[in-house]
Each structure stands twice: as C-alpha cells, then as structure tokens.
C-alpha cells in the first residue's frame, strides 16, 4: 500500500485490519503531535529543521509555542508519544511479519538502515 498522506495511510491500515482502531487513533495522535512540533520548528527557523534544539532556552521557546507551560511538560509528552509510537510500530511489524513471512523482515531491516538517527525523534541530552 502506498499513500502520500500519512493520516490517510493510517486510516487505510485500520480499514483493512492491519492495525486496530485504537492503535490507528494513537498513531494519528502521535503523528499530529510530532508534525505540529516539526512545523513550529520549521516556521521559527525558516528552514527544513526537524530536530529539537540542543539549547535549553530554545527548547523552552518551542514548548511555549506549542502551548506547554514548561519544557519538561513538552519533553514528557514528546517522550510518551515517541515511546508509544515505537511500541505500536513494533507490534504492527510483528503482526505483519506473522502474516507475510520473512520478506517483510528483510524489508524492515533495510528501512531501519536508511533512517536518520538525528531527526525529530531524538531528544538532545
């Protein structure tokens, strides 16, 4: 399945039974949170930045722009969303592997090798 829009893809995965409705909902919420943070970062820097700043003051300003009272509140939410997304991702891949066999596992390893470790899914520290 190939869809250009992430939310449409998540809805489609639920519609065809690859993920259940609750997992789809949680993945959509997490995507919306991360996407919003990315858009705020890009708007502020007027670049294609996709990283949480290393500077604590910049982290504070990002948290405020996103509507959080403190940096810790933002980072706590960020960690919860990313951990939850990762757990759902692992569950979904396991279910797909069980349905599709080893071919999916090889593709998953290739995908993992292509990912950049310093994108928005990385908290400085």
pLDDT per residue as tens digits for the range 4-18 = 688 888 888 888 888
DSSP 5: -
Q: Give the SS3 label for residue 32.
A: helix
Tell me the pLDDT tens digit for each residue of 66-99.
999 999 999 999 999 999 999 988 888 887 778 7
Give the whole-angstrom CA distance, residue 120 versus residue 111: 17
Report CA-CA distances (Å) from 21 to 1, 15, 94.
18, 8, 17
Q: Give the SS3 label for residue 92.
A: helix
The residue among 63 and 45 whose pLDDT is bigger is: 63
Q: Identify the pLDDT of residue 74.
A: 96
Domains detected in the chain: 6-114 (1.20.120.330)
Q: Give the SS3 label for residue 119.
A: coil
Report CA-CA distances (Å) from 59 to 63, 83, 105.
6, 20, 37
Q: Identify the pLDDT of residue 116.
A: 43
- Listed in sequence order, the residues at least 6 apart from 79 whose beta carbon sits closer than 8 Å to its beta carbon are 123
In this predicted structure, which of 48-62, 65-79, 108-122 has the lowest mean pLDDT? Answer: 108-122
Give the whole-angstrom CA distance, residue 6 versus residue 48: 19
Q: Identify the pLDDT of residue 100.
A: 76
Q: pTM of the entire structure?
A: 0.71
């Amino acid at each position: 399945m190939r869809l250009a829009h992430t939310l449409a893809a998540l809805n489609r995965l639920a519609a065809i039974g690859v993920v259940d409705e609750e997992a789809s909902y949680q993945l959509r919420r997490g995507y919306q949170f991360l996407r919003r943070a990315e858009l705020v970062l890009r708007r502020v820097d007027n670049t294609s930045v996709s990283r949480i700043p290393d500077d604590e003051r910049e982290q504070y300003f990002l948290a405020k722009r996103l509507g959080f009272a403190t940096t810790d509140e933002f980072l706590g939410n960020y960690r919860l969303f990313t951990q939850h997304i990762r757990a759902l991702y692992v569950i979904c891949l396991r279910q797909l592997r069980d349905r599709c066999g080893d071919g999916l596992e090889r593709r998953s390893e290739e995908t993992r090798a292509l990912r950049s470790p310093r994108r928005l899914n990385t908290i400085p520290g």
